[in-house]
Amino acid sequence: MKIRTRLTLLFTLITATILLAFAFVIYYSAAENREKEFYIALKKEAVTKANLFFDAKVNAKTLQDIYRSNRKVLNEVEVAIYDKNFQLLYHDAVDIDRVKETPEMIDEIYKSGEMQFHQDDWQVVGMLYSFEGAKYVITATALDEYGYNKLESLYRTILLVFIISIVIIYLAGRFFSKKAFQPIAAMTEKARGISANNLDLRLTSNGSKDELSELANTFNQMLDRLENSFESQKDFVSNISHEMRTPLAAIITELELSLNKERTLEEYKSAIRNALSDSRKLARLSNNLLDLAKASYDLSEIYLKPIRIDELLLDARQQVQKANAKYQIDIHFENDFDSDDEISINGNEYLLKTAFINLFENGCKFSEDSKSTVSIQLKNGEIILKFSDKGIGIPKEDLQHIFTPFYRGANKEFSEGNGIGLPLTKKIIELHQGIISVASEELKGTVFTVLLRNIQNS
Ligand code: ADP
């Protein structure tokens, strides 16, 4: 069931319940009033007849004649008068006799002074009447036809008003809920048309601060993010193909040229060397991409163990120097430490080493002296590593882009690379809940600061 229909029905049901309670109270109080008023009328009529009988000494026959003649046109009150000993002194019409009085009833009226009850629809009142020091019991009964008719007509009016109101409320509910949900229907229609091919479409917000425009704005912001991520995925794929195409084209050309005609041994060796260098570039690219994919995992999906950061830096240095003997790497401790935990983190050894290798290699390859220095500082449960070099530095306008995949700065001519090293390093550091930042001055050098929380602090 649609929310719109559900709301309309709920609204109608609530209003119907309120109306019903209201109608019940009105009808009930009208019925109560009728009964009370009729008892009062009965009592008056009883007293009037008793006065005529006792005071005015009108004889019984006359009173009975009046009763019988009135009965034909009016709903006349039937009165009976008894004395203390259940002796009938007067009765309007013994043959009709609606109220079957008993000695117990008369006693009860003597005791309590008054009695009111129903005999079918007829109301009966019994009361005491004093005349010349003696006490008599009068009973009076009549059917309040007029009152019952009024009640019946009130009941019909209430029922009619109730049905008409419910129909009007239901129709109004449907109309207003349709109006209220119209913007949602429009949004649904628009959202239905948005696919990967037209992610630039946006929902129209009415500009006000209501919940619906908030929803439209949030949805649009989500589309912005989706569009961005789609675009960067596309860029990423085209960058990868571009990075692979260049060395592959070089390898193919090199091998084709070698096969073209007979070459000298030296020429063959040179061709193989070039092809090998390009293949290494490809292998490095694919390794970097694989590492990037690993670093994009959730922390819970990768293997973690306590690692001493200083030992890992030593390992990384060894690996870098093995690949490039002219690179120089210095490791400095800024302060002493008492326990292994102070310099250890819970991390992934392979990924962290890859990050450190990237930072060492960058420092060395972008410096004339091929030298990179790392200082280790332990402070308030944090391990602060500063990878610095006295190299060519990074131009200011490049600083904000160097962590973007495949981005290579204006200084890229200085050394070979593929632009994956730093984004990969940043991902790895952030995966370990760390922070990486950079400060650089052209021709003076660069400092990458890595902040990691040690085992005691994480
Ligand atoms: P790559 O080194 O393969 O080009 P990176 O992602 O490691 O890619 O670095 C991106 C860019 O950042 C480099 O092309 C370079 O312009 C700049 N860069 C990184 N480290 C240094 C550094 N220590 N000194 C100067 N420039 C650097």
Spatial separation of the C-alpha atoms in residues 424 and 45, rounded to whole Å: 107
Instruction: Name which of 145, 113, 148, 144 is nearest 41 in CA terms.
Output: 144
Is residue 366 within 6 Å of ligand 1 at its C-beta? yes
Q: Which of 422, 442, 450 has the most ligand 1 atoms within 8 A of CB, as the residue to mutate? A: 422
Residue 213: pLDDT band by 50, 70, 90 thresholds?
confident
Q: What is the pLDDT of residue 93?
A: 87
For 41-95, write each residue's pLDDT tens digit.
999 999 999 999 998 999 899 999 999 888 877 778 999 999 988 899 999 988 8
For 347-377, write each residue's pLDDT tens digit.
999 999 999 999 999 999 999 999 999 999 9
The whole-number average pLDDT for the span 10-28 is 95
Among 219-223, 235-239, 249-253, 341-345, the minimum mean pLDDT is found in: 235-239
CA of 209 to the centre of ligand 1 (A): 46
CA of 400 to the centre of ligand 1 (A): 12
Nearest CA to ligand 1 atom 15: 409
Q: How high is the mean pLDDT of the chain?
A: 92
For 161-170, write each residue's pLDDT tens digit.
999 999 999 9
Residue 302: pLDDT band by 50, 70, 90 thresholds?
confident
Cβ contact 378:454 at 8 Å: yes
Is residue 405 within 6 Å of ligand 1 at its C-beta? no
CA of 405 to the centre of ligand 1 (A): 11
Element (H, E) at 100: none
Q: What is the pLDDT of residue 119?
A: 87
Q: What is the pLDDT of residue 440?
A: 97
Say if residue 184's pLDDT is above 90: no
**Higher pLDDT pick, 205 / 260:** 260
How many CA atoms are closer than 13 Å to the CA of 295, on its beta-carbon side? Answer: 27
The whole-number average pLDDT for the span 257-276 is 93
For 391-413, write each residue's pLDDT tens digit.
999 999 999 999 998 999 988 88
CA of 332 to the centre of ligand 1 (A): 23
Q: What is the pLDDT of residue 385?
A: 98
Distances 95 to 68, 247, 371 between C-alpha atoms, Å: 11, 128, 134
Is residue 418 within 6 Å of ligand 1 at its C-beta? yes
DSSP string of 354-401?
HHHHHHHHHHHHTSTT-EEEEEEEEETTEEEEEEEE-SS---HHHHTT
Is residue 281 within 6 Å of ligand 1 at its C-beta? no
Say if residue 157's pLDDT is above 80: yes
Q: What is the pLDDT of residue 75?
A: 77
Q: What is the pLDDT of residue 137?
A: 94
Cβ contact 402:409 at 8 Å: yes
Is residue 370 within 6 Å of ligand 1 at its C-beta? no
CA of 412 to the centre of ligand 1 (A): 7
Residue 182: pLDDT band by 50, 70, 90 thresholds?
confident
Q: What is the pLDDT of residue 18?
A: 96
The whole-number average pLDDT for the span 295-318 is 90
Spatial separation of the C-alpha atoms in residues 98 and 104, rounded to whole Å: 17
CA of 303 to the centre of ligand 1 (A): 28
Q: What is the pLDDT of residue 449?
A: 98
Instruction: Name which of 386, 389, 393, 314 is nearest 357 in CA terms.
Output: 314
Nearest CA to ligand 1 atom 11: 408
Q: What is the pLDDT of residue 138?
A: 94
The whole-number average pLDDT for the span 284-297 is 87
For 130-139, write each residue's pLDDT tens digit.
999 899 999 9
Say if residue 102's pLDDT is above 80: yes
CA of 24 to the centre of ligand 1 (A): 84
- Tell me phi and psi for residue 138, to 5 degrees: -110, 135
Nearest CA to ligand 1 atom 16: 409
Residue 208: pLDDT band by 50, 70, 90 thresholds?
confident
Q: What is the pLDDT of residue 360?
A: 97
Instruction: Name which of 418, 180, 398 is nearest 284 in CA terms.
Output: 418
Q: What is the pLDDT of residue 203?
A: 87
Nearest CA to ligand 1 atom 20: 362
